[in-house]
């Protein structure tokens, strides 16, 4: 064995998340594309960040950059891409994500490594990946009679809460 962690090890999953979040931030910082395309990319960043936060939440306290990012994501939900506050909020979100990726994220990965056996890390990593796969198809119960299922986990008012709720429900559901 070459000493590397399997792809399903939770530390590998979290580190991969950090790389993807960093990549999305870089893409947004380049400032290219129409306002609508930037809004779509910002929504993608939010979706990835919510998934990541749910996976990492038991290993971090709630007072760090992810808590700051949560507030900014909620504000961004209601900001149109043409509004002046959109870029200001997006810049704040990018800074919070970068702070997490570079400061808090590695500490969370170390915490996982210290507190979980390799077997448990593999189990948790598989669970996180399964929850992510399931989340895209789990409808939000409050919306199921009013909104098409395909739209229930995508941007709009309450997106952050719906995504987080869906991920938690999928994690809590048996096998």
Q: What percent of the chain has pLDDT over 90?
A: 28
Distances in Å between the Cα of 77 and the Cα atoms of 48, 74, 100, 126, 134 are 15, 5, 21, 30, 23
Q: What is the pLDDT of residue 64?
A: 75
Q: What is the pLDDT of residue 137?
A: 38
Sorted by where each begins, the domain ranges of the chain are: 10-169
Q: What is the pLDDT of residue 170?
A: 56
Q: What is the pLDDT of residue 18?
A: 92
Q: What is the pLDDT of residue 145?
A: 42
Q: What is the pTM of this model?
A: 0.74
Q: What is the pLDDT of residue 63?
A: 67
Give the residue ranges of the chain where pLDDT is below 50: 1-2, 136-157
What's the count of helices (H) and strands (E) in the chain, helices before strands? 7, 0
What mean pLDDT is reported for the chain?
A: 77
Separation between Cα atoms, residue 108 and residue 43, nearest integer Å: 24
Residues 6+ apart with CB under 8 A from 8: 122, 125, 126, 129
Name the DSSP class of 7. Answer: T
Q: What is the pLDDT of residue 70?
A: 85
């Amino acid at each position: 064995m070459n000493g590397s962690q399997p792809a399903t090890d939770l530390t590998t999953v979290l580190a991969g998340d950090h790389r993807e979040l960093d990549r999305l931030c870089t893409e947004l910082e380049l400032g290219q594309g129409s306002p609508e395309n930037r809004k779509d990319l910002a929504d993608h960043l939010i979706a990835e960040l919510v998934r990541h936060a749910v996976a990492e939440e038991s290993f971090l306290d709630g007072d760090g950059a992810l808590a700051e990012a949560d507030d900014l994501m909620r504000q961004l939900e209601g900001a149109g891409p043409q509004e002046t506050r959109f870029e200001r909020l997006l810049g704040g979100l990018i800074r919070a994500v970068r702070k997490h990726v570079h400061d808090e994220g590695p500490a969370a990965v170390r915490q996982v490594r210290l507190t979980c056996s390799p077997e448990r890390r593999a189990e948790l990593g598989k669970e996180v990946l399964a929850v992510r796969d399931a989340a895209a198809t789990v409808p939000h119960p409050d919306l199921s009679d009013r909104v098409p299922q395909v739209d229930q986990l995508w941007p709009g008012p309450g997106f952050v809460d719906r995504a987080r709720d869906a991920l938690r429900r999928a994690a809590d559901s048996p096998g």
